[in-house]
Amino acid sequence: MSMKRIRWSRWFLVAVLAFVLLALTAFGAFQIYLLRSMAPLSGVQQLQGLYSGVEIKRDVSDVTHIHASNPLDAWRAIGFVHAQERGWQLAFNRQVMHGELSEWLGPTTLETDKLMRTLGIMKAAQAQFEKLPANTQKALEAYAEGVRAGYASEQWRAPEFVIMGIHPTKSMKSWTAIDSVGWALMMALDLGGNWGNEFARLMVAQTLSTEDLWKLLPPYPGESRATKVDIAALYQSLGVYAKPGSPQANALASQKMLASTTLDIGVLEGKGSNNWVLPGSNTKSGLPLLANDPHLGLSAPAVWYFAGLHSPPGQLPDGKPHGALNVVGATLPGLPFVVLGRTQMAAWGFTNTGPDVQDLYLEALEGPNNYRTPNGQQAFETRDEVIKVKGQGDVTLKVRSTRHGPVISDVQPAYAQFLNMDKYAIALRWSALDIDNQTIVAGMEANFASSVADLRQAFSKNHSPMQSIVMADTAGNVLFKAAGKVPVRSAAHDLQGMVPAPGWLSQYDWQSWIPYDQTPEVSQADIEKRGWHATANQKILPPGYAPFLTHDWTGPERFDRIAQLLSAGTKLDASQMKTIQADVHSLAADRLLPYLQTLTSTHPKGPDALAQLKLFKGDMSRDSSGALIYAVWIDEVTRAILIPKLGETRFKALFGKRAFRPGVEGVLATQDKSWCGEAGCQVLMNKALDSALDKIVAMQGDKVSEWNWGRAHPALSAHKPFGNVKSLAAFFDVTGPSGGDAFTVNVGQYWTNSTTVPFATRHAASMRAVYDLANLEESGFIYQTGQSGHPFSPRYRDMRDEWGQVKYRPLTMTTSGPTQLLKLIP
């Protein structure tokens, strides 16, 4: 071997060794970073402001239990824990509600910031905070102190802060008590009402007759049309719609609208939940059972953080005595209280009632600065909002408001495309923004409840969003109550909140509020008579109920299925509650089974696919190929029916988070050629099957025997914002197995307007809980990610598989057995 080759070999060996050493050093540094960046679960840390020491124990279920000598210290400590465990989640949510996302993410989020500033979320939060009782203010201030202290520890090294170059204690505004009020308002916005449906009806009334509008968006089953007004004729007579522009201008406006990040705000479809309560007369134990699974958008980390708050009886800051604080369940990072859960003697569960608490108003313009009112012209209220935008100069937004509320047509591209902006603006009246909103007080008081009567009293303070609440206690009491503020509309309000109303006519103004004692309620006696009470966002009004709540109820399929399963005729136990929460039988699919049996196909995979459809009985199980074929087929049917009637732009703007299933089923039931085309609905359905099979082959290959719903329908818990970054999503998103569809008890709503994962579950059971009032220590819970918000923690996604399999972890008040202990000292 030559000396030259020997020298080259030595240099090569040195280079390899150097590379290995460098890699090992980098790996070691990364491991050190990981260890230092995760919140400590044990040891001792200082928390200024504490009256005395606090113990934080994590039990075998990884539920965080906070033991303090007084409630203020408990609320201060949960703030500390939220900041350490969910620091990025808190920080990101703060930017959203303040309308400051663009300061971090640049112009892509400017539209969202403009809408938040226009709504005035933080302006309303400030006003509402000032009206809160002193004890609630002190609770939120203590929580904020804890959050700030948590950020001051190790949390700044969490990956998102490192990637974004943000230091929470140096380059980020501090969390305040008002931010907690703001976050409660953001939850109300997520669950708040129907303004998106109002605008959707206005949008389609430009191209559809009123008769066809009602076919597209029919009334709730068994109800008549909400209004007799010819909506299309009304808007044409008022000159509401924008005049047609050039083809180029129209194409550009359509592109901007479809790229809008706020297009689906104000759409309630898919944001539902299930809950039910059984009296002791219908249970094996002789005491009540209560189950709850709220359906929210899936995210990583999850929206919930499970914790227990414990302190002995004493006095609140104003001297008012309080009982023991012993509560465990789901907290929302951003708030110091358990939102859903149980105390030692009572339990409760929510579903969204979905009343109409949002009305859009057409404001007729009178020159550039005024609008028409019942009493003549009035000037817009205006204010300037300055939005910092990463990578470019500040943007100044002029926000206009009317006597009804903020003018949202100024900041939503869809409104600019369809509305005649020379004649009209659209303002939003939304109850949650009112100064008397004290929803946070309800949450605080519920945490001290020891009976159903205590819970009913606490929830009398609930304002927004209205919730359908089932309650039970260890004495055997059960109750259902819809709690929240709903406006009373005038008898002359002939539009019934279905569409934007003329803002210059006083007949469309809100008159007052439905009193708490008059909101829907089901007594112990009536629940005993039936054997159970359940809600699933369906119409909850008893026969003869006079006050108007809404016409935009969610369809009854989930409720009807729960009713079937609860009415089996035998006394039930907790394990059967869990079986019901796992149910994936779709009553909506049942209604379409007869059409599936009539299909023919010219597709090469047609014979095998039709054989699978013969076996499909409406169960949306993960391993079912029939469920996959059915789901893609009905999506193709929907597109084939609606696109020719609505046009491509309107369809894309409205479809996805809306399924239009009642309208499509109505067309198929009547075989309506005006929607299906002259060839008829059968031909359309057959062609839709062939199109569906093309899509499935592209998704899952050509072996029909290997097709299954689960592969197309994973539960996707997306991280904000890194779920949108392809190179990072794999580390930050959490995906797992999922069955069901939008109509099953174990819900799995998907958005088929997605270009990447059209059938992935986006809205599902954000958590599941079952409470056995015979022994509350036998209660169970689960949700879809994990307690930690750190993507490299083993606790970030450790509940995923249990959630997918509908298994449960114990939800106990005690922390016996091996636990981790973190002590906080003053």
574-581 helix and 557-566 helix, angle to the nearest 10 degrees:
150
Question: What single string gives the DSSP state of each residue in 228-286?
Answer: -S-HHHHHHHHT-BPPP--HHHHHHHHHHHHT-SSTTTT--TT--EEEEEE-GGGBSSS
Q: Record the tokens describing residue 30, joined without a space.
A: 């990364």
Taking 70 as the threshold, does the pLDDT of residue 270 lie above it? no
- Write down the mean pLDDT value for the chain: 94
pLDDT tens, position by position, 596-614: 999 999 999 999 999 999 9
Looking at residue 16, its pLDDT comes to 57
DSSP secondary structure letter of residue 218? P
Using H for helix, E for strand and C for coil, what is the string for 382-405?
EEEEEECCCCCCCEEEEEEECCCC
Taking 70 as the threshold, does the pLDDT of residue 369 lie above it? yes
Segments in 192-238 forming alpha helices (H): 195-204, 210-216, 231-238
Higher pLDDT, 71 or 756: 71
Query: What does the alpha-carbon distance between residue 783 and residue 177 come to, in Å, rounded to a whole number?
Result: 27
* pLDDT class of 256 with cuts at 50, 70, 90: confident
For the chain, give the number of residues: 826
* pLDDT class of 11 with cuts at 50, 70, 90: low
What pTM did the predictor assign? 0.95
> How many Cα atoms within 13 Å fall on the side-chain side of residue 55?
11
SS3 662: helix
Q: Record the tokens describing residue 630, joined without a space.
A: 């059915």
Looking at residue 246, its pLDDT comes to 84
Looking at residue 818, its pLDDT comes to 67
* pLDDT class of 254 with cuts at 50, 70, 90: confident
pLDDT tens, position by position, 613-648: 999 999 999 999 999 999 999 999 999 999 999 999
Residue written as token pair 């817009």: 380
Looking at residue 35, its pLDDT comes to 57
Query: What does the alpha-carbon distance between residue 599 and residue 591 come to, in Å, rounded to a whole number?
Result: 15
Q: What is the mean pLDDT of residues 381-393?
A: 97
Looking at residue 244, its pLDDT comes to 87
Taking 60 as the threshold, does the pLDDT of residue 808 lie above it? yes
Query: What does the alpha-carbon distance between residue 681 and residue 673 come to, in Å, rounded to a whole number?
Result: 7
Looking at residue 502, its pLDDT comes to 98
Under 8 Å CB-to-CB from 664, ≥6 apart: which residues?
634, 637, 638, 641, 642
Query: What does the alpha-carbon distance between residue 750 and residue 757 come to, in Å, rounded to a whole number?
Result: 9
Q: Record the tokens describing residue 145, joined without a space.
A: 């102190």
CB of 197 within 8 A of CB of 352? Answer: no
pLDDT tens, position by position, 405-422: 999 999 998 898 899 999
pLDDT tens, position by position, 117-173: 999 999 999 999 999 999 999 999 999 999 999 998 765 578 999 999 998 888 899
Percent of the chain with pLDDT over 70: 95
Taking 70 as the threshold, does the pLDDT of residue 461 lie above it? yes
Neighbours of 151 (CB within 10 A): 24
pLDDT tens, position by position, 34-67: 556 788 899 999 999 999 999 999 999 999 999 9
Query: What does the alpha-carbon distance between residue 271 and residue 286 come to, in Å, rounded to a whole number?
Result: 33
CB of 622 within 8 A of CB of 738? Answer: yes
* pLDDT class of 272 with cuts at 50, 70, 90: confident
Looking at residue 544, its pLDDT comes to 92
> How many Cα atoms within 13 Å fall on the side-chain side of residue 571?
11
pLDDT tens, position by position, 522-558: 999 999 999 999 999 999 999 999 999 999 999 999 9
Sheet holding 43-46, edge to edge: 43-46, 820-825, 54-58, 64-67, 305-311, 325-331, 338-343, 346-352, 467-473, 478-483, 521-522
Looking at residue 27, its pLDDT comes to 47
CB of 8 within 8 A of CB of 787? Answer: no
